[in-house]
Structure 1
Amino acid sequence: MAERELAAWLALSFTPKVGSKSLARLVGVDSPHNLIEYQAERLYALGLSREQVSYFKQGSQRDVDGCLKWMQTSHHHIITPLDECYPALLKEISLPPPVLFVKGRLDCLSQPQIAMVGSRNASPEGLNSAHSYARCFVGRGLVVTSGLALGIDGHAHDGALSAGGETVAVLGSGLNQIYPARHKQLAHRVIDSGALVSEFAPHIKPRPTHFPRRNRIISGLSVGVLVVEAAEKSGSLITARYAAEQGRDVFAIPGSIYNGISRGSNSLIKNGACLVQSEQDVLDEIDTLVNWSINQKANTQSELFDKIECEEELPFPQLLANVGLEATPVDILASRTNIPVHEVMMQLLELELSGHVVAVSGGYIRNGRG
């Protein structure tokens, strides 16, 4: 992406009180690169306040320049959903991060990943399980993804690295603000054999509200999420919930009913998560998707979802481009494409009849031939 376009994406994503939903709505109207050229009155009509417009068009320059300077360092990357290297699975979640900051190897983000999460105050058995399972997974060609936290996360990263594998750590802070500080050395090891990832600008410090947002990225990058050990009110359960909403497989290792640190994991199993007694239980469930991902490594991200086998022109390409593998409601499609709802419904009917999309609970998904 050209620097001017990236600067516009950064400016919009940093604009105060423009959340993921508002940003998605604005990008559905026009690209940030074009939006920043709009007259102020036109931006007001789109719902931005005077303060937001002022920041977007002028006040963001310092923040944007700092990020662009950060990107000039070797192995520092900033990507948006328009970049081919943006992870295809992450692009398919309902609100993908508009900007990703990456330290390390971009290519590992497009390889099949298994997320491993769990308690910061894990038992010795839980820590041993995280380490040994991670070693096994990387031995089978998977990238282990977690959140760099103390406990299960750290042991999962270390297990992957000790086996010579790759691992991705998603942070709830900027990449210049490693948290927890105790894992700074581990973070350097991750960069050497994988990547650190964040949707926050490099200088942003960790905050409690950042970690749920971090968790949706962990699950969004992965083909499945394994909860190794989790209490009843654990952040790991938030990751598992996101995984279920994103259509990912959820796995959990059971523990004693008398041990509070396992109540969250046991509850997941009770509510439908796959009970895991060995690494093979996970591998058997995700085998098909993993094999597909491995076979597609040589292709670009755009080829993974946009390439078709025939030479016919796709019907309603603007609408079809906004229908992914996760159910998208009609009103969201109308907002993204700026097409009236009644016309969107007519086009969806034709796409459904021609086999390009399928109506499911919650909206429409793209069919294989689409």
Structure 2
Amino acid sequence: MKSIRDIESWLSLGMIDGLGDESIRRLLVAFGSPAEILSANIASLERVVKKKVAYNIVHGADEKKIAATLEWLKDPVNSIVTLADSHYPALLLNIPDPPPLLYLKGKPELLNSPTLAIVGSRNATPQGIANAEAFAEAASNAGLCIASGMASGVDAAAHRGGLRGSAASIAVVGTGLDIVYPASNRKLAHELAEKGMLISEFPLGTPAIASNFPRRNRIISGMSHGCLVVEAALRSGSLITARQALEQGREVFAIPGSIHSPLSKGCHALIKEGAKLVESADDILDELAGGSGRSGGLGGSGQGRAAGGAAHDVDELQGSEPLLLRHLGHDITDIDTLCVRSGLTIETVSAMLLAFELDGVVASLPGGRYQRLR
């Protein structure tokens, strides 16, 4: 369990002006922990980040904002999870840019539930709303938590359906968790906090800024085993989520519609690009349960037996080794990222990777990158 000092250090690091996620990960590799980063001098910081950012780190984040967040965390419904936590979403670790810190409101045990993302138009048709609710409820009753972005239209309908089912729903939002956007979803937000969960990578007080919403989409798709697009125009933000899902190795599904409807154009484009056409929730469940998806089906969080002549089953490996393999997942990953994810030193990670490579569990790729073999 984190100490108050640890929590303060993570919060402060996440609130430094100009310090992005990639720079945070590089700093963690270089210094080991947020506390060490925050106590470093400018000269050592400048070896990793730009001079202006190093200056901002030395001078620290806004103490009032940190104090307000610590007060917010006193409510048991609120919490944070960081890259250093064992319950950080396992699937999210395998995307190229996992957020270092997530703010949570609701049930943190849902973080590693089998999850289906459902997204679509804010201006959905009545049929689109009905489809989103029906597919979400059926998938939830089958054990899939429903993830979406709490926007109007398809997102809100997906959350309602997910909450009616047995596996609940997760909303990933583009504001701080002390702000409900859009305001019309206030009742839904309260229900999600009570029965499901709300997630944000943005500090409290962050308003609804347009550029934040595409960023949050990578989390929706990244923590999900698959992504269903219900209705979407050709320039819809939902297509951003779907394409991020494809890049992250997730299965993408789309519901077809009338060739004359603008809100079917995006789904039809995805189907032409290889998304799976679905007519019922069973089409999705069968695909994910079969394990044929790019993310490895519902068991695809990085566990199981490695192929390619591996000498060990993951569960038989001792000490930190199973943890390192889980952090590696099946996507190509560099050694610095593995150090951040696992909390292990570069020497320890290098030694483990060499052993795994000799056993045929891991492949070494050009540029100091590694990939776990299936």
Instruction: Tell me, in whole angstroms, the C-alpha distance in 2 between the residues paired with 1:347 and 1:147.
Output: 38
Secondary structure, counterpart of 2:39 in structure 1: coil
* Structural RMSD (CA): 3.1
**Counterparts of 1:349-360 in structure 2 under 5 Å?**
351-358=356-363
Contact 1:115 1:219 in 2 (8 A): yes
Please say which of residues 356-365 and 166-175 is displaced more in the overlay.
356-365
Contact 2:12 2:60 in 1 (8 A): no
Aligned partner (choices 264, 267, 290) of residue 265 of structure 1: 267
Deviation at 1:313, TM superposition (A): 8.3
Pairs aligned (count): 353
Instruction: Tell me, in whole angstroms, the C-alpha distance in 1 between the residues paired with 2:40 and 2:133.
Output: 52
Instruction: Tell me, in whole angstroms, the C-alpha distance in 1 between the residues paired with 2:286 and 2:231.
Output: 21
The one-letter amino acid of 1:327's match is I
Instruction: Tell me, in whole angstroms, the C-alpha distance in 2 between the residues paired with 1:150 and 1:194.
Output: 18
Per the alignment, do residues 361 and 247 of structure 1 end up closer, same or farther by CA in structure 2, a change over 3 Å counting?
Answer: farther
Instruction: Tell me, in whole angstroms, the C-alpha distance in 2 between the residues paired with 1:321 and 1:144.
Output: 23
**Counterparts of 1:127-206 in structure 2 under 5 Å?**
127-206=129-208
Instruction: Tell me, in whole angstroms, the C-alpha distance in 2 between the residues paired with 1:51 and 1:26.
Output: 12
**Counterparts of 1:76-155 in structure 2 under 5 Å?**
76-155=78-157
Please say which of residues 78-87 and 353-362 is displaced more in the overlay.
353-362
Corresponding residue for residue 370 of structure 2: 364
Aligned partner (choices 229, 232, 238) of residue 231 of structure 2: 229
The one-letter amino acid of 2:371's match is I
Q: TM-score, normalised by structure 1?
A: 0.86
Corresponding residue for residue 63 of structure 2: 61
Gaps of 5+ in 2: 304-312
Per the alignment, do residues 117 and 322 of structure 1 end up closer, same or farther by CA in structure 2, a change over 3 Å counting?
Answer: closer
Contact 2:15 2:61 in 1 (8 A): no
Please say which of residues 226-235 and 357-366 is displaced more in the overlay.
357-366
Per the alignment, do residues 106 and 338 of structure 1 end up closer, same or farther by CA in structure 2, a change over 3 Å counting?
Answer: closer
Corresponding residue for residue 301 of structure 1: none
Contact 1:111 1:293 in 2 (8 A): no
Per the alignment, do residues 360 and 118 of structure 1 end up closer, same or farther by CA in structure 2, a change over 3 Å counting?
Answer: farther
Secondary structure, counterpart of 2:193 in structure 1: helix
Corresponding residue for residue 43 of structure 2: 41
Per the alignment, do residues 162 and 311 of structure 1 end up closer, same or farther by CA in structure 2, a change over 3 Å counting?
Answer: closer
Deviation at 1:237, TM superposition (A): 0.8
Q: TM-score, normalised by structure 2?
A: 0.85
**2:324 aligned with 1:324, yes or no?**
no
Instruction: Tell me, in whole angstroms, the C-alpha distance in 2 between the residues paired with 1:164 and 1:312.
Output: 36
Deviation at 1:38, TM superposition (A): 1.4
Contact 1:12 1:56 in 2 (8 A): no
1:118-163 per-residue CA deviation (whole Å, 9 max, x = no partner) reads 0011111111110110110111011111000001001111112234
Using the aligned pairs only, state the percent identity. 40
The one-letter amino acid of 2:106's match is G
Deviation at 1:360, TM superposition (A): 7.2
Per the alignment, do residues 80 and 207 of structure 1 end up closer, same or farther by CA in structure 2, a change over 3 Å counting?
Answer: same
